Amino acid sequence: MKANELLNQIRAPWLQRVSVSIARGAGSREGFSQQLDRLFSCLQQAVTSGNPAWLDSVIHEWTGSPTLTDLQQRHNNVSDLLNKIISITNDVAIENLPEQDALDLLTTVMPIYTYALEKTARLEMEARVTYISNELAEMQQKLERLDRSKSSFISVAAHELKTPLTLIEGYTAMMRDLVSPNSNGQIDTLLNGVNIGIQRLRQIIDDMIDVSVIDNNLLSLNVQPLWLSHLFDLLKHDLEDVIRERHLNLEIKPFPGSDLWIYADAERLYQGLHNVLTNAIKYTPDHGRITVDGRTLPGFIEITIADTGIGISPEHQSQIFEKFGQLGHSNLHSSGKTKFKGGGPGLGLPITRGIIEAHGGTIWVESPGYDEEKCPGSTFHILIPSRTEPTDPKIAKLFGKLEKVQPEPDGKENPPTDSAAA
């Protein structure tokens, strides 16, 4: 007997069984019966034509409107429903047809059901992927909004704090002038304390302003020729006292590329490198070692700043470059900028990253992990483009002339004359 005639024979018991076992309540059963009727007719068409695509319209309709709960709770409702329908078809065929006919019918309809199941699973998966992508995009927008309000809060707070700070600074200077002639040692000590506080506050406010400038892509570089070795000489000199106080050993190796004349913003690079070095000091226990080294890479100079400090766990290695990405507890925050583990507001590394990226470089950290006992250390890598020609034509003109008249600096390479810009 042909499969379609066999289908006709089981139509009534099939509709009855599926409708009773799946639809709950008389109301939903009525609406659902019509849908089932349609499905059965499409199944018959698919059997007659040998084309399972006859089921497409029903599948699209059933999978086309998943509820929010289905999507959130990852329900594959239509796939589950089809699986039940397949099982009921099996039972109904066996119960209502002679054995051989039931076998013939099931052999014909199973590939059609398999096609329907695959298609349903794909459509349900696509619906979920679309839902998750939309959720992610929404989340991304929320985060961006949050970041913007954080950034404008920093900017407003910094500018608001700056005015009273300038007043305090001015009045303190006046008080110092008034008391100095009588030279009262105690008042001098107190005024010194106020001054240290003012300087620290100014530093934090300046950092807040720098962060908001970087966030808003407003950092402009004052590019000029420099040698990295000069910057490190200056840094070593400026950090000498604290290195001595903390019994640390700072070694700056004369690495390849440190004596190359490159075009960069000396002041900003100093600031960026200073932040990394102060962190190395802060997070390395007394008697530890800090080593600056580097090498040249095609188009770049790589600087490495390695310490023998407490290290950074892998999951925090990218977080520390985000603003307020400090890892220590806030009760460890100290006003001493170089005290061991004396955390700050978490603005140093985001500023350094902003400065390095504004130069077209990049910064990252490598560390085996965080361990205050074993102190595995951290190594910060900084890539700076070895730009040996100025990008600004005005500067090119200025230094082009200087190149000819400038005496060769002792022990340094000549300013480059051929193009090796990154």
Residue 400 C-beta: closest distance to ligand ADP, Å = 38
Of residues 349-388, which lie at the interface with ligand ADP (CB under 6 A)? Answer: 349, 378
3-state SS assignment for residue 281: helix
Q: For ligand ADP, which residue of 197, 256, 328, 376 counts as binding (CB under 6 A)?
A: 328
Please choose, from the candidates 418, 247, 420, 278, the residue with its C-alpha nearest in 3D space to the C-alpha of residue 347.
278
Of residues 239-278, which lie at the interface with ligand ADP (CB under 6 A)? Answer: 275
Tell me which residue has tokens 């999978």.
63
Stretch that binds ligand ADP, among 69-77, 135-143, 344-352, 355-363 (CB under 6 A): 344-352
Residue 170 C-beta: closest distance to ligand ADP, Å = 28
Instruction: Report yes or no: 234 and 212 within 8 Å, Cβ to Cβ.
Output: no
What is the CB neighbour count within 10 angstroms for residue 384?
A: 25
Q: Which residues, in sequence order, are bridge partners of residue 304? A: 293, 381
Residue 327 engages ligand ADP in binding (rule: CB under 6 A): yes
What residues contact 161, with CB distance under 8 A and at least 6 apart? 201, 205
Residue 212 C-beta: closest distance to ligand ADP, Å = 15
Q: Quick one: tokens of 77? A: 């409702």
Residue 326 engages ligand ADP in binding (rule: CB under 6 A): yes
Q: Quick one: tokens of 320? A: 């520390």
Residue 346 engages ligand ADP in binding (rule: CB under 6 A): yes
What is the number of alpha carbons within 13 Å of residue 319 lying toward its C-beta?
10
CA separation (Å) from 292 to 207, 229, 381?
Answer: 24, 11, 10
Q: Quick one: tokens of 35? A: 């849908």
Residue 306 C-beta: closest distance to ligand ADP, Å = 9
Interatomic CA distance for residues 208 and 157, integer angstroms: 8
The 296-325 site mask, x for binding ligand ADP (CB under 6 A), equals -----------x-xx-x-------x----x
Closest CB to ligand ADP among residues 79, 326: 326
Of residues 277-296, which lie at the interface with ligand ADP (CB under 6 A)? Answer: 279-280, 283
3-state SS assignment for residue 302: strand
Residue 345 engages ligand ADP in binding (rule: CB under 6 A): yes
Residue 348 C-beta: closest distance to ligand ADP, Å = 3
Closest CB to ligand ADP among residues 303, 310: 310
Please choose, from the candidates 17, 167, 169, 146, the residue with its C-alpha nearest in 3D space to the C-alpha of residue 86.
17
Closest CB to ligand ADP among residues 6, 290: 290
Residues at the interface with ligand ADP (CB under 6 A): 275, 279-280, 283, 307, 309-310, 312, 320, 325-328, 343-349, 378
